[in-house]
Amino acid sequence: MPYIVLLLSLIFYGLSTTLQKKALQEINLGAMLKIHGWAVGGLYLLGWYLFSKTLSPADYLFPFLAAIASALGFIFYYEALKSTSASVVSLITSLYSLVAIFLSVIFLGEAFLPIYFGAVFFIILGLILLKGKKADKTSFSGIALSMIAMVMWGFWGFFSKAAHNVAGEPELMGAFGLIAILVFPTYAKRFKGEIGSVKGEAIALVSVIILSAASVMFYFSLRFFPASVVTPIISGYPLITIVSSFFILHERLSFRQLLGSAVIIGGIFLFLI
């Protein structure tokens, strides 16, 4: 069961990215962020209210650190997209697992088996192949912002695992729900102009619900697997995005992307054996 939940989390993360692409063809980024903030915030706070344990304020330290790191990662990610191609940004940020692995091994004492080096190598190689040969625009500031987002999401993975020592999924959900409501709608005010279509808003809402489910399953997986295993597997989500984009957005898959997909699957398999 835990393996199925982990793989479903990977699939849902990748699918939500494709649906967000679809939504952004219909609505602007400001509307997307507002829907993201209020929908995630409402769902997560409801889960926290229904299932949370009675904890002291100090027990929420790591859940809030995880939520803040995740929200900051999203902000730097969106800022990077302004000056650098999405392919470059997604490639850099998807390597957040390396940061989480390093922190988890050093500070949480998690074991890192020799076979995992091969798994990480294959996932990184596969992501490079998925990126493609060209980037339509690249800048130093965009690369720097992408790297900051990568580090922030690495800390998110690490703090999420550390939070499980004193808290559980409801507490993590509650912390992120509150931060999402405070951060995303506020940041969305920077984007002016037409909101877009009702269809786009509906797709955005579905994508956020799927993203929320993916995050819950991610937190659930951390109960059974070390962060040094969970985060590299989840970082392979561009594979699901590529495949689902073929069916939903009618984007063609090149031989290079098919090869990259196969390499990522191989890397994920090494983490599961």
AA letter at 214: A
**Cβ neighbours of 50 (radius 10 Å):** 8
pLDDT at residue 133 in the model: 56
Task: Kindly state the tokens that stand for 242.
Answer: 């590529």
Helices 114-131 and 86-93, packing angle to 10 deg: 170
Burial class (CB in 10 A: 0-12, 13-18, 19+), 252: exposed
pLDDT at residue 135 in the model: 46
pLDDT at residue 184 in the model: 92
Query: In angstroms, what CA-CA distances link 80 with 19, 73, 197, 213, 235?
Result: 20, 10, 26, 26, 19
Report how far Cα 165 is from the mean position of its chain's Cα atoms. Answer: 22
pLDDT at residue 136 in the model: 46
Residues 6+ apart with CB under 8 A from 70: 152, 153, 156, 176, 179
pLDDT 10s per residue in the chain (273 long)? Answer: 788 999 999 999 889 878 887 887 788 878 888 998 999 999 999 999 999 987 888 899 999 999 999 999 988 887 776 666 555 676 677 778 778 877 887 887 777 677 777 887 887 787 777 665 554 455 678 778 888 998 999 999 889 888 887 888 899 899 999 999 999 999 988 877 667 788 999 999 999 999 889 988 988 888 888 877 787 788 777 778 778 878 887 767 677 767 877 787 777 777 666
CA 31/CA 189 separation, integer angstroms: 9
pLDDT at residue 66 in the model: 94
Residue 201's nearest CA partner among 39, 37, 32 is: 32
CA 222/CA 229 separation, integer angstroms: 9
pLDDT at residue 191 in the model: 78
Q: Is 0.85 surpassed by the pTM of this model? A: no
